Structure 1
Amino acid sequence: MAGSVSTSFRLRRQLLGALAAAPAAVLAGAAHGAGAPDLSGVTLVLGDQAGGLRALAEASRVLEGAPYTYRWANFQGAAPLFEAQRANAVDIAPAGDLPVLAAATGDPSLRIVATRVGSPTQLGLLVPQRSGLHSVAQLKGRTVFVSSARGSIAEYQLDGALAEAGIARADIQIRYILPVDAFAAFMSGSIEAWATFDPYYGIAISRGARVLRDGTGINSGLGFITASGAAHANPLKRAAIADVLQRLQRAGDWALAHPQAYAEVYGTLTRTPTDTALAITQRASLKQHFVTAADIATLQKVADVAVRDGILPRALDVAALADTRIGTV
C-alpha cells in the first residue's frame, strides 16, 4: 500500500468510460477569468496517505487542465507526511483530526484549509479472528499497537475506548508502529491488538480481523487538509491551493454520486480488491468543504480532550490555525 499508485491514462479511461457523469471539462470547472492570477509558473506538491487522495483525483479527473504543475508525494501515515510538510517538501497534506493537531504543536505555521467529512467507522481496534479478546476491558495488562505515531487518530480511538471501559492508559502497554509494518505483523500473528485506520483497517477486516471497537461515538469522522506555512504565505501558491481544494470538492461529490465506479478505480490504483475498496470508500472522508466555524468548534473539542489526556503536549487555539477565507481567493 505504501508503493506508487500511478496508473495509465488509458486504464483510467477504460474503467471510467461510460460511468462518468460529466465530461472532464465540466468536472474540472470553468476556466479562470481574465482577472485570475497567472499560475503557470506554480508547482504544487500534493501530499497523500496510502494513495487515497490521488485515487480520488484521478478517478474523477478533476485535475485535468489545471493551470499549474503538480506532483504527488505518497506516505503510509500522517506522521511521515507531516514531517515532510514541516520541511516544506509537500504543500498540502490530508489527515485526520488529531494528527493535524499533533502536527500543529510542532509546526504552528501550518494552516487548516479544508474539511473532509467521513464516517468514524473507518478506524478502530482490531484483534485476530481467533483471539480470546472480546471486549476492550480485556486489554488490561496487554500490549496494544498503534498506527502510526503518538498523536494519531488511532491513539485517540484507543484512549476513548479505554476510558469507556474504565481502563487507564497505565494499565496497558502502548507501542507505536507504521501501518505497513503493523499490517504485516498483525497478519503474521505477532500483534494481539491493533489500533488503526483505513485502508489498513478495512483490508485487515477483509482478511479475517475482528473489530473489538470501532470509532463510532469516539472519533469525529472529520478529516482535514492542511497547507504548509510557506505555501500558504505565497500568494500564487495559495491561489493554486484554493483551486485544488475546489477541484477536490467536486471530486468528492462525484465519488459519492458514483460509488461503484469510484471503488473500481480506487481498487485498481491502490491494488485493493473491489469489494474491499467499496467498503473502504463508502466510509471515507469524501464530502469536502472549506473550513467553517462548526468545524473549528468540533476540532477544538478534540484538542481539549487530547490535552487533558496527555496526548498533546500543550493547548491549541484551533481558530488561529484555520483559514476560513481561502475559498474566496
Structure 2
Amino acid sequence: MIRRLAAAALSISALLALTACGADSSADAAGGDDEVTLTIGDQAKTLQTIVAASGALKGADYKVKWAEFEGAAPLYQAVQAGAADTAYSADLPALQALSGGVKFKNVAALRSDGRHVGIVVPKGSGISSVKDLKGQKVVVSSAKGSISEYLLANVLRQNGLKYSDVKVQYLLPSDAQAAFASGKIKAWATFGVYQSVGLAQGGKLLVDGADGRVSGYGFIGASDKTLADPAKKTALRDFLGRLSKALTWTSTHQDAYADAIVERNGADASVAKTLASAAYSKVLPVTSDVNGTVQGVADLMHGIGVLTPNVDVAKSADTSVLK
C-alpha cells in the first residue's frame, strides 16, 4: 500500500511537470469569430477537472481555454506575459508574484479548512511538539515562499520560537518524499497528497494548518489587461459564479470528484480521494476581512525575509468583479 501511494505521488509529480499552456479549449457554447475567449490559468488540471466534472460551463456564451502549469510561479509568469488571463494559487504564492511586480489583481478568494498543509515527522524522531523543532533541519516543500513555509513560520511564532531557530532546506515535493521515505528527513513541512504519503509511510502529523495556523485562503487573480477589457471582465464574472457552483459540487460529490481526478489526471484512487477531500470549498468576494487576514501572512513572511518587498494586500484587489 505504501509503495503504491509513493508511486502515485511520483506519478502526480510527473503529471505536474507536463506544462501545456492553452492546450485545452472547453465550453458548451457555440459562437462566431467575435466570441470572447478566457484563458484560465490552472495548476495540475485542478480547476479544469472540477469544472468539467461538475458541468459548470454548460450554457456559457464564451469560450474557455486552459493554461496548465507545474506550479504557481510559472503560472504568474504566464499572466505577466499575457499568455493567461487569470491565475490560481494559495495566498503566499500570490503575494510573492505581487511582490515581484506581476501586473494582476486578486478578484476572488477561495476558502479551505487548512488541513491540507502540515508538518510531518517520522516515528522515532524524538520530535513530539513544535518546540522540539528548535535546532532541527526542517525540509520545506517546495520553493521559498510556499504555503508550507508559512505554516512553519507561523507555528514557530505561536510557540515562542524564531524562524532562525530552525534550519530550512527547500526541496521539491517528490524529492522530499523520497528523502523522507529513506529516513533522511526529521521534519517535513508539506501539503496535499505528499502529506498523506508521508503519514502512510509511518510518519506522524506534528501540526496542520487548521484553526487559523494558515489563512485557508487562496486567490483567483486576473491580469490588469484582462480587467481593462469589458467583455472579458463580464465573462470572468460569470466564470467565477460557475466556479463557485462547481466547488459546492465537489464538497457534496467527493466520490464523483475523486473519480474525475483518476480519469483526467491518471492518479491512483487513494491519491485522488486525498486530493478531493482537500479541495477549496468556496469562492468568496475579496473583502476587508480577507485582505486583513492575508496581510497578516504578508507581514509575517516579510518580517523573516521571505517576502521582499512587502505587499499591500488591499491595494492588490479588484472588488468590482465579484460583489
Task: Give TM-score, length-normalised by structure 2.
Answer: 0.81
Residue 66 of structure 2 aligns to a residue whose secondary structure is strand
Residue by residue over 1:254-301, the C-alpha shift from the partner in whole angstroms, topping out at 9 and shown as x without a partner, is: 112222222222344334444443344234212112322322222222
| 8 Å Cα contact 1:143-1:174 kept in structure 2 | yes
- Matched residues in 2 for 1:281 and 1:100: separation? 23
- Matched residues in 1 for 2:177 and 2:43: separation? 15
Does residue 239 in structure 1 map to residue 229 in structure 2? Answer: no
Q: Select which of 234, 256, 260 maps to 2:255.
A: 260
1:102 positional shift: 1.5
Tell me how many residue pairs correspond in the alignment: 302
Task: Give TM-score, length-normalised by structure 1.
Answer: 0.80
Does residue 308 in structure 1 map to residue 303 in structure 2? Answer: yes
| 8 Å Cα contact 2:108-2:322 kept in structure 1 | no
1:218 positional shift: 1.3
1:158 positional shift: 0.7
Q: What residue is the counterpart of 2:243 in the other structure?
A: 248
| 8 Å Cα contact 2:44-2:69 kept in structure 1 | yes
Does residue 109 in structure 1 map to residue 106 in structure 2? Answer: no
CA RMSD of aligned residues (A): 2.9
| 8 Å Cα contact 2:134-2:161 kept in structure 1 | yes
Q: Which moved more, 1:154-163 or 1:172-181?
A: 172-181
- Matched residues in 2 for 1:95 and 1:209: separation? 27
| 8 Å Cα contact 2:192-2:278 kept in structure 1 | no
| 8 Å Cα contact 2:233-2:321 kept in structure 1 | yes
Distance 1:202 1:280, change over 3 A: farther
Gaps of 5+ in 2: 1-11, 19-26
Does residue 228 in structure 1 map to residue 191 in structure 2? Answer: no
Q: What residue is the counterpart of 2:128 in the other structure?
A: 134
Does residue 212 in structure 1 map to residue 213 in structure 2? Answer: no
- Matched residues in 2 for 1:271 and 1:185: separation? 24
Identity across the alignment (%): 40
- Matched residues in 2 for 1:275 and 1:190: separation? 25
Distance 1:72 1:108, change over 3 A: closer
Residue 42 of structure 2 aligns to a residue whose secondary structure is strand
| 8 Å Cα contact 1:45-1:70 kept in structure 2 | yes
Letter in 2 for 1:77: G
Residue by residue over 1:35-89, the C-alpha shift from the partner in whole angstroms, topping out at 9 and shown as x without a partner, is: xx98954333322223322221121121244333333233343233323333333
| 8 Å Cα contact 2:193-2:271 kept in structure 1 | no
1:97 positional shift: 1.4
Distance 1:97 1:39, change over 3 A: farther
Does residue 80 in structure 1 map to residue 66 in structure 2? Answer: no
Q: Select which of 150, 156, 163 maps to 2:150.
A: 156
Residue 259 of structure 2 aligns to a residue whose secondary structure is helix
| 8 Å Cα contact 2:118-2:190 kept in structure 1 | yes
Does residue 292 in structure 1 map to residue 320 in structure 2? Answer: no
1:207 positional shift: 4.2
Residue by residue over 1:105-154, the C-alpha shift from the partner in whole angstroms, topping out at 9 and shown as x without a partner, is: 11252110111111111101122345343322232332222122222211
Q: What residue is the counterpart of 1:122 in the other structure?
A: 116
Letter in 2 for 1:312: L
Q: What residue is the counterpart of 1:13 in the other structure?
A: none
- Matched residues in 2 for 1:172 and 1:3: separation? 31
| 8 Å Cα contact 1:97-1:224 kept in structure 2 | yes
Residue 89 of structure 1 aligns to a residue whose secondary structure is coil
Residue 213 of structure 2 aligns to a residue whose secondary structure is coil
Distance 1:50 1:302, change over 3 A: same
- Matched residues in 1 for 2:199 and 2:272: separation? 12
Does residue 93 in structure 1 map to residue 87 in structure 2? Answer: yes
Q: What residue is the counterpart of 1:22 in the other structure?
A: none
